[in-house]
Structure 1
Amino acid sequence: MFVLDTDHISILQKKAGDDWRRLRHRLDQYPRTDFFVTIVSFHEQVAGWQSLLGRANSAAGILHAYSMMERLLATFAGSQVLPFDAAAIQLFADFRRHRVRIDTMDLRIACTAITRGMTLLTRITVDFARVPGLKFEDWTVEDAASDSP
């Protein structure tokens, strides 16, 4: 079972480029039911579009931001979304106490994957390597057999 990091979700949403082709190829080798996204990734993406909407100063800009938010909602509604639950927040608190240095949202996603025994798919391998016990892989590279330590 795999959790798509916000980074890999963004690549899939673009539907173009070498990273997208490699990622799509790897995803197609597994049943769709093996893949999950997190509510934390939804939060990150909504915040991004909300920020764009707040800066929009034209009708076209406002319409674009709302259109992208609608697409985002449809994408997540059609996905298996993992909650940030009590087990994940407890692990998050433990990692913070032990000074695991990684972005807050990334650590929340990592904790969601760890508490479920899932592998995180991401390009941000340097940061995620700081999280003890996290299994992760970058499926945008040619040979992504196993990037986790």
Structure 2
Amino acid sequence: MSQYILDTNHLRAYEYLQPKLMAKVMAIGMSQIAITGITVEEQAQGWLKAIRSASQAPLARRAEKFGWAYGGLRMSVQMVNRFEILDFSGTSYERFLEFRRQGIRISTHDLQIAAIAIDVGGVVVTQNLRDFEQVPGLRVENWL
């Protein structure tokens, strides 16, 4: 059985309980679904940016902005901990470099996710089929 690896857009859909995605998750089972450390990094970067932005908000709105940003970070951490988190290992890094040498032109994070997925024999679940389909040997699906 394949391991399914949610990329960032599908993780966001999971966060918002998107019905079509949730039906697929329930049918497959959480034990077959993972995310990568790259996706965790992207989630964290977004919330850390919001926290930095809150410190620059007008004083009258700063408490509200901080509450929203730190609350979002907390909920994001709780959500990602529901999944197995796959590492960007040395092997994944070497595969990533090989893809770059081959001239595959997709975002760094997407190419890192692709390298991890190939290393573990997983299927990337993404809306971004156009980019991920450029990676030789990578299996992709869109559940949205």
User: What TM-score comes out, normalization by structure 2 length?
Assistant: 0.91
* 2:107 partner amino acid: D
Give the CA deviation at 1:31: 2.2
Distance across 2 between alignment mates of 1:42 and 1:103: 16
Task: Spell out the pairing of 1:24-63 with structure 2 (5 A cutoff).
Answer: 24-56=22-54, 57=57, 58-63=62-67
- Aligned to 1:66, which of 70, 88, 97? 70
**1:89 corresponds to which residue?**
93
**C-alpha RMSD of the superposition:** 0.9
* 1:10 partner amino acid: R
User: What TM-score comes out, normalization by structure 1 length?
Assistant: 0.88
**1:98 corresponds to which residue?**
102
Q: Which runs of 5+ in 2 are unaligned?
A: none
Q: How many residues align?
A: 136
1:79-129 CA distance string (max 9 Å, x none): 211011011101000011111100001111111101111111010101111
SS in 2 for 1:78: coil
Q: Which runs of 5+ in 1 are unaligned?
A: 141-149
What is the identity percentage for the equivalent residue pairs of Structure 1 and Structure 2?
A: 29
**2:141 corresponds to which residue?**
137
**2:79 corresponds to which residue?**
75
Distance across 2 between alignment mates of 1:137 and 1:65: 31
Q: Greater CA deviation, 69-78 or 42-51?
A: 69-78
**Would you identify which runs of 4 or more consecutive aligned residues in structure 1 move more than 2 Å?**
none
Larger radius of gyration: 2
* 1:93 partner amino acid: L
Q: In proportion to residue count, which structure has more helix?
A: 2
